[in-house]
Amino acid sequence: MLFKKLFLTIFLMSLLSSAGAQSAADTVCHEVLLATTMGNIRVKLYNDTPLHRDNFLKLVRAGFYDGMLFHRVIANFMIQTGDPKSREAHTGEVLGNHSEGEKIPAEIRWPEHWHKRGALAAAREGDDTNPERKSSGSQFYIVYGKRFTDLELDTQQRRLDKATSETVKMSSALREAYNKIGGTPHLDGQYTVFGEVTEGLEVVKQIQWADTDEHDRPREDIRIVKATVVR
């Protein structure tokens, strides 16, 4: 009987210890440093989008993003990377149609995570071929966007209404944030935002102003030299 009680006590202590370790792991705010040919960008990953967080960390640790081009850059909008074909792409080659691994189920947490300036989000195929809004297995974008006037936000809301069947409505607080901080509101509620820039927004700004061709690819290659998990 004494042995059984001792075994039960050890077993319960083990469970509590495991639960504590799991809770601690879930509260760690992981950060990744993207060293690019135009400077460093540091991002933190959200824990309430665990599928995207874990997939991104896995790819970074495997060195997947090292040498990757920013293949799609649009001024006052965003910068995009993650096409594995971009590492060895020829000048002028059209990119953006390839990804690594399987699509990731959507983890859209709006309005908690919105497309503010500096938002880190997963690219995906359009609703016509991807109604579940699953994310690319490797392609992501970083928002730069712009600051919007009230009239411009009215236009953005109409655009949102059409794209989301009027299910995504900007609150007054969110409208004020887009006015003061900036971003790309027309994407809200439709793409998974899974992190944000903590350092290097000036680098994002510089990249999004790059001279591009008709396919939005920078005429001079801009690369991620190395991506590293720093926390």
- Predicted confidence (pLDDT) at residue 61 exceeds the cutoff of 90: yes
The pair of structure tokens assigned to 59 is: 């790819």
- How many percent of the chain have pLDDT more than 90? 87
Is residue 116 one of the residues assigned to a domain?
yes
Task: Record the pTM.
Answer: 0.88
Is residue 178 one of the residues assigned to a domain?
no
Which of these ranges, 23-32, 83-92, 180-189, has the smallest mean pLDDT?
23-32
| pLDDT for residue 26 | 66
| pLDDT for residue 11 | 44
Domain that holds residue 53: 31-145+191-229
How many other CB atoms are there within 10 angstroms of residue 37's CB atom? 13
Q: How far is CA 94 from the centre of its chain?
A: 22
Domain of 207: which CATH number?
2.40.100.10
Is residue 126 one of the residues assigned to a domain?
yes
| pLDDT for residue 199 | 98
CA distance 89 to 208: 20
Q: Each residue of 49-63: b (16+ CB within 10 Å) or e?
A: beebbebbeebbeee
Tell which wins on pLDDT, 46 or 19. 46
| pLDDT for residue 20 | 47
Mean pLDDT of the chain: 91
The pair of structure tokens assigned to 110 is: 């709006």
Q: How many Cα atoms within 13 Å fall on the side-chain side of residue 37?
A: 13
- Predicted confidence (pLDDT) at residue 27 exceeds the cutoff of 90: no
